[in-house]
């Protein structure tokens, strides 16, 4: 993605889930897990408008976890 004359096009997918929720505790908490999915992204060469292959060692999904409290 650092290459000159390239752009990224596509949709970033998400799959957020609340995995334990304790709403009745004195301090309510929830853990939220989201997966950012890059599988629908394409790198395009702006000179030729051809789709460039993504690196084979680049993950297509990234998981993020957050714990929240009120």
What CA–CA distances, in Å, run from 41 to 20, 30, 57? 31, 30, 15
Q: So where are the chain's domains?
A: 6-69
Residue-level pLDDT at 1:
55
Rounded Cα gap, residues 44 and 7, in angstroms: 5
Residue-level pLDDT at 30:
94
Residue-level pLDDT at 20:
85
**Beta pairing class for 29-37 and 17-22:** antiparallel
Tell me the per-residue pLDDT of 17-65, one tens digit each, with 9 for 90 and over: 998 888 898 999 999 999 989 888 898 999 999 999 888 888 889 999 9
- Strand runs labelled E in 10-60: 17-22, 29-37, 42-45, 51-52
């Amino acid at each position: 993605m650092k290459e000159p004359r390239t752009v990224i096009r596509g949709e970033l997918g998400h799959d957020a889930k609340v995995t334990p929720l304790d709403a009745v505790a004195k301090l309510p908490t929830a853990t939220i897990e989201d997966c950012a999915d890059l599988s629908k992204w394409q790198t395009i060469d702006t000179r030729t408008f051809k789709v460039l292959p993504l690196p084979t060692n680049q993950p297509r999904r990234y998981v993020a976890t957050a714990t929240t409290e009120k």
